[in-house]
Each structure stands twice: as C-alpha cells, then as structure tokens.
Structure 1
Amino acid sequence: MPSSELKRKGRGATDFRCTKDKLCVVKWFDNREVILASTCKCVDPVEPVRRWDKKQRQFIDVPCPQIVKEYNQFMG
C-alpha cells in the first residue's frame, strides 16, 4: 500500500506482507509511517494503544500490531 493511502486512512492503519519463509514486513501509521520486519512476530493480535491527539486534545485509542508493541516494549 502506498504511503499516501496509509496516511489517508489515518492513525492505526496497517499494511503487511508475509513470505513463505515467514518473513513479515509491517507498515503501520501513527504520527508517521513505521516499517518493521520480523521472522518471529507479525500483525496479530492487534491491540489498542493510547496516543495523544492534538486536534481533540485528549488521549485516543489507536489499533497497534503486536510487532510494534513488542518493539516499543524492548527498545524504548
């Protein structure tokens, strides 16, 4: 999916591709596009994460793939 289409869908939009060798590449849109690749994790399960929305001036729930959630847990 092109970056412009992902951005048009809004926060939490996800696109992914998996190969027969179990390589999974996930593209997720939060404030910016995030691209991650893994051989052990993929998209499922998708769980909500809390993000600050500037326009609404409050926290909102954004769907987040498992690979992004684990990356944030162990790298940040």
Structure 2
Amino acid sequence: MHVQGNATYIDDMPVPEEALHVAFALSDVAHGKINHIDIKRSKQAPGVHSVIVAQDIERLNIGPIRHDEPLLAKDEVVFYGQAIA
C-alpha cells in the first residue's frame, strides 16, 4: 500500500467541523516555582473550550516506560518550554 502511494496519512484526512485543537501554555523560564496559575481570562477568550492545569489531570502521566512524568508542570518547571497549561 505504501509503495504504491495509496497510504492515507493523518494530514490527508479531513478535519471534522466539531474538532477541538490544543494549544499549550509553555514555561518561559528554564527553572522556577509555580505559585499560582490564573486561568480566568483564558477561559473567557473567544473560541476557548477548556483550560486544563496539572490539578485537573494529576493521574495522567506520560513517559516511555514507567509513565511517571506529569504531562503538565504543577509546582515547579524544570526546563524552558515545559507545558504548564
């Protein structure tokens, strides 16, 4: 199928009208403590469906083997560009 050029890739599929898209808020520092994340204004922005922070998904971890790395930073960021919301 792939050799013939008939493979369907994700970019070849139409996006459903009701699809939601994700945008992450990323850390702009390499290391720091998170004191508070105010999501009130973000939730009110046009087109925003949800704003999710670490407390909303505490049991949803990622990682190649152990799945012990939080998807979103909660109390501290440890690298520039780390997802916080």
Q: TM-score, normalised by structure 2?
A: 0.21
More RCO (CA 8 Å, sep 6+): 2
Q: TM-score, normalised by structure 1?
A: 0.22
Q: Which has the larger radius of gyration?
A: 2
Of Structure 1 and Structure 2, the greater helix share is in: 1
